[in-house]
A and B are shown apart, each in its own frame.
Chain A
Amino acid sequence: MKTGLFLIIPIFNNYWYDRFMNLRFLTILFILGSSSVIAQDESPKEIMQRVDRLLRGDSSQGTATMEVVTEHWERQVTLEVWSLGTDYSLLRVLSPAKEAGTATLMSENDIWNYLPKVDRSIKMPASMMAGSWMGSHFSNDDLVKESQLVEDYDITLSYRGARDGTNVWEFDLSPLPEAPVVWDRIIYQVRQSDYMPLWAKFFDENGNLSRTMTFSEFTEMGGRLIPLVMEMQPTDKPNEYTKLRYDMMQFDVGLDTSFFSLRNLKRQR
């Protein structure tokens, strides 16, 4: 089983590495909420598998705004996003003007970046993969990670009940013995009523919380209920965060794998 885990350039400062989030995981989560037919007594694994099935063949297109705040600077970028299942994605920057046209293509295990200023597409080497994507707290690695949570983690239900007045499930994910993932444990909290994820917490082996992802503004878009806002925050740098907000999203737009090509990567519209 190949999993796309890419890690950083040696010389890129560690600084960048800290920011990462599993984008795939997010996608799973917001698709999770799309189905309204979910039995109450399904096992965690079954729930995840259903998600898996929902994702296969599901295409989407949308626009989003990403805000990144770090110790040294603040940025805001608007993006157009296309995706097909978990293996294909195309993200293109719309603004600011200086970076408009920069695009990232993820096709199975490869990442390509298109840089309009030099009119070149560069394939990401292994050493680049842990580098941050577009300066955010996401890494290139996360963008590509093919592994499903089900494949890499053992999922158990650790809590079922009310938290702050809402009925939630808390799933405890621990990596399978040979899974090439660095996290020792991930916990995520999901709303029972509509399967909306509320947050996900990532822990290292010493039990320390490394980062937290929160989901909010659950709105119906393109016929599905999704969290509009996802915010990722590193524990060691409490003043930093990356916030992704979907402005528009539609599903089942009829994309197939041929759309996710190098040619489309370069195309400006």
Chain B
Amino acid sequence: MTYFTIILPLALRNLRRQIRRTALTASAMIIGGALLIFTLSFGDGAHEQWIDSGVRQDSGHITIERPNFRITRKIEDRLPEQIRLTAEQAIETLRSTGYIDTASSKLTVLGLASSPAGARPVQIIGVDPVSEALFTTLDDLTIEGRYLESTDTLAAFVGIGLMRSLDLEIGSRLVLTAQDTTNEIAGQLVRVTGAFETGVEAADQSLVHIPINTANDWLTANNAVTNIGILVEPSHVAPQISSQLQQILGASLSMRDVAVMNWKEAMPELASAVMIDDFGAYVVNGLLLIVIAFGIINTVLMSVLHRHREFGVLQALGLTPKQTSAIVLSEGLVLTTVSGVLGIVISISLSRYFLGDGIDLSALVPEGSEISGTTIDPVVIPMFRTARIVQSFGWILVIGLISSIYPAVRASRIDITESMKFDR
């Protein structure tokens, strides 16, 4: 085809000829491409972490609960044993997809914690120590004692704030009180096995983990749970797994009794935070690429205007105006995409090598930061996704195209005779 034999070589040769100009323009685009993928991958990394943090502190990437529970948070809206077992089984069948990381069933109730020193309102979460240790981040934040273990019965894992308010130590008695499933108020003794510190006062003052069996007996729950939280890896498969679960459960259960939600539905504030951050990155990068585009337009346009004699000769030799503009278009596109891709590659390699373990922003980020109720880890680890790389490449291509259109059109309008007149 004439394209590859004539047009493309001409385009490439011209880039080579004006090496300095090419290099300068390319540098701009390399930086553009590099910045683009850099902000996107660190952004994705940060978001992944917010999401991870958020879902572990709440109810997982996917949560199975009674439809009303999220609003009422009352023990009346629990999943009875039968439904719980069906749901757990459904989760098991999906483990073969390899996406399911952990599932943790919980019995949560709002109540009171008292000691001789006082009483505080708390959120009491009955958990299976083994699966919850994989699920939650609290066990990693233990500062005294230890997290719950599977052999524990009368144990409680509390926040450091609560510990101080109620004057507790490891091994102290703690009495929990809440309304049970028969609408009666019931008390339960536990002993503190450990304490965590998140830095967020609300969590440190009010979260208490106890073994689910203990909670079950205390509240006469008959093996019911208030929710089943599921963690998936990677997070973006959540909607897909969620709908699969919904299908499986829908076959045997009514959607009035059980709801399957992914984290975007269960934690809309967090989803918003991610959206706004992404949006911000798009705006910044978009604007930057446009600035670069201006530079590209100028460069390609100038090269067209300088080569009008050359084009005149080529056209006299038989090249059509369309083919002429194809040359210019190719030049612009090749310049843009090659340098853009180069930028992406450089950025990824450098990021991976030097910053693969993450950037530590703790100097910048205030202590105990939280966004939409989720604590933020100041160390941001980049996440390189193929989808993003393709997306970035696409944008670069578009910019290259847009910048080259005007010069290409100009090139096609060269008047052969005018251009070959003797003229400097």
Contact = CB atoms under 8 A, between A and B. Distances in A.
Interface of A: 2-11, 14, 17-18, 109-110, 125-127, 129-130, 175, 177-184, 202, 204-205, 208, 210
Interface stretch (B36-44, B59-67, B118-126, B321-329): B118-126
Nearest to B118: A14
Given A10-B121, A126-B178, A127-B121, A17 B189 contact: no
Contact of B184 (A7, A109, A202): A109
B112 A184 contact: no
Contact of B173 (A4, A7, A130, A182): A182
A17 B119 CA distance: 7
Given A14-B119, A126-B179, A205-B173, A7 B113 contact: yes
Interface size class of B (residues with CB under 8 A): 20 to 34
A205 B116 contact: yes
A8 B185 contact: no
Contacts of A180: 175-177, 187-189
Contacts of A177: 154
B187 A3 contact: yes
18 contacts: A3-B186, A5-B114, A5-B175, A5-B185, A5-B186, A5-B187, A6-B177, A6-B187, A7-B177, A8-B112, A130-B112, A180-B187, A180-B188, A182-B173, A182-B175, A205-B169, A205-B172, A208-B116
Contacts of B363: none
Which of B112, B113, B185 has its CB near the most chain A CB atoms (within 10 A)? Answer: B185
Given A9-B121, A127-B121, A183 B187 contact: no
Contacts of A183: 116
A130 B115 contact: no
Contacts of A208: 116
A177 B191 CA distance: 10
A125 to B, nearest CB: 7
B114 to A, nearest CB: 5
Interface of B: 111-121, 154, 167, 169, 172-173, 175-180, 184-189
Contacts, number: 93
B188 to A, nearest CB: 5
Given A7-B113, A17-B114, A130 B119 contact: yes
A129 B185 contact: yes
Contact of B119 (A7, A179, A205): A7
A11 B120 CA distance: 8
A202 to B, nearest CB: 8
B175 A181 contact: yes
Question: Ordered nearest first, which 9 A-B pairs have the shortest CB separation?
Answer: A10-B121, A5-B187, A7-B112, A180-B187, A204-B116, A8-B119, A180-B189, A14-B118, A7-B177
B119 A178 contact: no
Which of A2, A178, A180 has its CB near the most chain B CB atoms (within 10 A)? Answer: A180
Contacts of B169: 205
Nearest to B188: A180
A181 B112 contact: no
A92 to B, nearest CB: 23
A97 to B, nearest CB: 33
Contacts of B120: 10
B114 A126 contact: no
A179 B172 contact: no
Given A3-B187, A109-B185, A182-B114, A125 B173 contact: no
Given A7-B112, A126-B179, A184 B185 contact: no
A126 B179 CA distance: 6
A202 B116 CA distance: 9
